[in-house]
Structure 1
Amino acid sequence: MKALIIGSGGREHALAWKLLQSPRMTEVVCIPGNGGTALLAGCRNLPLSISDFEGIARFSLVNNMAFVVIGPEQPLADGITDYLQAQNIKVFGPTQAGAQIEASKSWAKALMQAAGVPTAASQTFTELSAAIAYLEQQGAPIVVKADGLAAGKGVTVAPTLAAAKTAVSESLAGRFGASGNRVVIETYLTGQEVSVLAVTDGLTIRPLIPAQDHKTIGEGDTGANTGGMGAYAPTPVVDEALLTRIQTEILQPILQALQQKEITYCGVLYAGLIITPQGDPKVIEFNCRFGDPETQVVLPLLATPLEEIMLACIEQRLAELPPFEWKPEAAACVVMAAAGYPEAYPKGMAIHGLEAAAETGAVVFHAGTKRVQQQVQANGGRVLGVTATGETFEAAIAHAYKAVDCIEFEQSYCRRDIGYRVKA
C-alpha cells in the first residue's frame, strides 16, 4: 500500500514516519517533503507545488496511491480535497466547506454559537473605527485575531489597550494580506491551553490523546505567538472525565452542526481549548488538520496503525474500529528554530549532529530543512522538532533536551522550558 502526503513540515515528517511503521505500507511519497523525509527509509520527495492540484491528482492516479493525506491548512482551504475526490482519489482531509472551520474564525464562531459549544464572547469587524470603539468599551486584556489563515501568527493576546489597537490597525492595514481584512475580537480567557486532535469520518468522532503546545517564542510563555515551540503528551490537565466532557460538550455538537450544514467532514478536527480555573473546557479555535508540533508527540505514543484509522475515516467506518491503543509513556518535543523567528530569520545554515541526536534514541522530525547534496541545511523558521519518549514526563523531557544538545547550526534557538507546567 502506498500513500501520498502533502506538505513540507515537521507534522508531515511525523506522519510519514508513523505510516511507514506499518508492514502494510510499502512506500510514502511527500509533496514536496523536506530534508528529513528525503532521508527516511521507504519515503521519497516529489518536487511539486502543494497548489498544483492537477499534478498531484495525476501522480496519485498513475502511481496507484491508496490515499492522500493533506498536511497544511492552506490547500484544504483552497479545495484540494474536492478536486481529488472528483477524480475518485481517496483523501484524508476535509473539503473546502469543512476547512472553513479554520480558514474563517468568524465562520467558526457562528458554527460554535449554533452548536452551543462553549467559547469566548466575540465580535467581528472590518472597519477600524468600529473595532477601536469596541476595544475601548471592552478594555484589556483582550484577544485580536485575523479572521483568515496566517500561519499561526495572526493571533495577538493583548495585555493592554494600546497593544490591542496596534494589532487591529496592523491587521486591517494588510499585515496578513486578505486574511486580516476582517478581525475577530474576543474576550480573554484564563486557564491552561490544551490541544485535542480528533479524527472523524463525518458520522463518528474520536479524540486522540490530549497534548499541550507552547505557542509563544519566549520562555515562561512570553513574547510573540508562533506556530508552536514545543509540546508534550498526554497532558495531565485533561483526565478521562474531562476528555468525556470535551467529547460530549464540544466534539459531538460541532460534528452535528457540520452535518446540519450538509458538510461531510473527514479528517482531523483539532480543538484548541482552554481549561478554565473552574475546570471547564472552552474552545479557543478549531483547526482542520493535524497540529504542529502536537502531531510529533501524539503519534509516537499511538499503538494502533495510523493507516487503519485514516482508511476507516475515508471509508466512513470509524465506528467499527476498536478503541485506539496507546503506549503507556509520555512524549516531549522541543522545536529548534532559526534566530529571529517568527519574524525575519536566516536560512542556509548547515545542520550538524543529527546522527548523534538519533543515537540517543530520540526522533528528529525535520520541519524547515532541505538537503543540498549530502548536507542538511536550515530552510525555515521552525527547523527541527526533537522528540523523545519516556516512562515519565521528566524522563521524556530530559531525553529530548539531551538530543537537542547534540545538534548544532548557526543562529539556532529553542525554548529551554518545554513541559514546565507539567513539571511544576
Structure 2
Amino acid sequence: MRILVIGRGGREHAIIWSLKKSDKVKEIFCAPGNGGIASIAECVDILEDQFEEISQFVLENDINFVVVGPDDPLAAGIVDFLEAKNILVYGPRKNAAIIEGSKVFTKNLLKKYNIPTAAYETFENYDEAIAYLHKQGAPIVIKADGLAAGKGVIVAHSLEEAEKALKDIMVDKVFGTAGTQVVIEEFLQGQEMSLLAFVDGNVVRPMTPSQDHKPIFDNDLGPNTGGMGTYSPLPHIPQSIIDEAIATILKPTAEAMVKEGRPFRGVLYAGLILTATGTKTIEFNARFGDPETQVILPRLETDLLDIFLATVNGRLEEMDIQWSNEAAVCVILASDGYPGTYPKNLPITGLNDVEESLVFHAGTALKDGQLVTNGGRVLGVVGRGTTIKEAREQAYRDAERIYFEGKQYRTDIAMKALV
C-alpha cells in the first residue's frame, strides 16, 4: 500500500516508523513531515490544514490510505472532507473529534453519563468567571475550551495565577477563539496516567498505559508544555486500577459517543488522575498522544496497519493486539526558552553517536543539508530495556550524545516508577 501520514511531529515520526514494519506497506509519504521523517518517508510540502491540496495529492499519486496525526485537522473535519471524496482515512470524524476540540462538550458529556471527572463550571462571561474563582479559591485549574497546542490548561496554585490565566484566555485572547469559553475545575491530586485505546464505536481495544511529564522543569515545576517525556509500562500502578479505568471511563465514554450520535473511530486518549477517591478523567484527546506514542508504539507487536485497516473496515473486534514486555522511556530535548519563545535554525549534531536509543524528530528541519532545530520540542530520545531503569539509563546516555545550542531536558523522567 501507498500511505500518506498527515503531520510533522514526533508522534507522526513514530507512527511512520511503526507502519514501515508492515510487509503490506510499499511507500509512505508525509505532509508536511520534518527533517527526521525525511529519512524514512517522502515529505510533501503540504500543510495539515490544506485539505483540498491533500486530497489532490492523494488522488494524483495513487495513495491507498491516509492516517491523520494531529488534533487541529481532525477537529476541522479533514476525515469528513476526505471521505466525501471516497478516500480511505483513519481518524475520527469532526462530530466525534469534538471530544478534544471542546472541553466544555467533554465535561458535559462526562457529567451526563456519570463518568468520573473533576467538579467544574463553564463560563463565557469573564466577570462571572472571576466571581466563581474567588468563591472557590486556589489551587484550581483553568482550561480554555478549544485547542491550544497542549498549552490551554493552567494549574493555578494561587488566586493571582488563576486571575492571570482567566485574563490571558478570556480578555487578551492568547489562545484566540479557543478561549471564548473556559472550564474552571477543582484541583485534583494524584499520579497521572495516559490510557489510549483503538476505538471503533462501541469496540474499545486499550493500549499499554504510559505516563507523561507536562511541566518544563524537574519535580513538575514550571509552566505546562506539550510533554517533556514519557514511559511505559507503569510498574507502580496495579493492573486492577488500569482495568477499572477501562471499565468505568474508556468504555462508557465510547458508548456515550455512540448514544450521542457521534461514534468515535480512531485513537481515543484518556488523560487520567489516580486520586484518593478513585481514578478520574482530566481530559480526552482524539488522536495519539505526543510524546506517549513514542513509548507506546515501540512496544506494539501487532502490525499497526492491520489495526488501522480493521478499524476502518469495522473489524476491530476481531483483532488480537499484542504488546511486548519491554520497557520504553522517552526524554524530550527542547529548545532554550520553550514553552515560551525560542530560537530556530540551530545546528543539531551527535545523532550519529546515538548507540541504542530510537530518536524521533519533532521540531527539526533540513537546511542546506544540515539538520537544524525548528520547534520547541526538538527530539524524543527513546531508550528500551527489560526494566524502566534500564530503558531510562539508555535514553539519558544517548540524550547526552546529542547537541544543539540551548538544549534543555528534564532529568527525572520515569523516576516515579523507581520510587
TM-score normalised by length of structure 1: 0.97
CA apart distance, 1:253 = 1.0
- Give runs of aligned pairs for residues 23-422 of structure 1, distance below 5 A: 23-40=23-40, 43-173=41-171, 174-278=173-277, 280-322=278-320, 324-357=321-354, 360-422=355-417
Shift of 1:341: 0.4
Partner of 1:14: 14
How far residue 167 of structure 1 moved from its aligned partner, in angstroms, is: 0.6
Q: Is the 8 A contact 1:203 1:316 kept in 2?
A: no
Number of aligned residue pairs: give it: 418
Structure 1 distance, partners of 2:315, 2:261, is 19
Q: Aligned letter for 2:70?
A: P
Alpha-carbon distance, 1:421 to partner: 0.7
SS at match of 1:386: strand
- Does the 8 Å contact 2:32/2:45 carry over to 1? yes
Cα distance between partner residues in 2 of 1:144 and 1:221: 17
Give the ranges of 4+ consecutive aligned residues of structure 1 lying more than 6 Å apart after TM superposition: none
Q: Write the distance in 2 (CA, Å) between the matches of 1:36 and 1:268.
A: 24
Query: Equivalents in 2 of 1:162, 1:203: separation in Å?
Result: 43
Give the drift of 1:236. Answer: 2.5
Q: Deviations over 1:316-358 (max 9, x none)?
A: 1111112x1111110000000001001100000000011111x
Distance 2:239 2:90 in 1: 27
The answer as to whether partners of 1:194 and 1:274 remain within 8 angstroms in 2 is yes
Deviation, structure 1 residue 235? 1.4
Query: Quick one: which amino acid aligns to residue 404 of structure 2?
Result: F
Q: Distance in 2 between matches of 1:198 and 1:422?
A: 22
User: Which has the larger displacement, 167-176 or 390-399?
Assistant: 167-176
1:66 Cα deviation from its structure 2 partner: 2.5
Q: Give the C-alpha shift of residue 195 in structure 1.
A: 0.2
Structure 1 gap segments, 5+ residues each: none
Return the offset for 1:237.
Answer: 4.4
Q: Which amino acid aligns with 2:256?
A: A
Q: Which runs of 5+ in 2 are unaligned?
A: none
1:215 partner amino acid: K
User: How far apart in 1 are the matches of 2:389 and 2:17?
Assistant: 24
Indicate if the aligned counterparts of 2:254 and 2:263 stay in contact, CA closer than 8 A: no
Shift in Å at residue 191 of structure 1? 0.4
- Measure, in 1, the Cα distance between the counterparts of 2:63 and 2:233: 32
Query: Matched residues in 2 for 1:235 and 1:22: separation?
Result: 27
Percent identity at matched positions?
48
How far the C-alpha of 1:242 sits from its partner, in A, is 1.8
RMSD: 1.0
Q: Distance in 2 between matches of 1:317 and 1:301?
A: 22
Distance in 2 separating the partners of 1:244 and 1:188: 24
The whole-number CA distance in structure 2 between the counterparts of 1:320 and 1:17 is 24
Using the size of structure 2 for normalisation, the TM-score is: 0.98
Alignment check: 8 A CA contact 1:202 1:316 kept: no
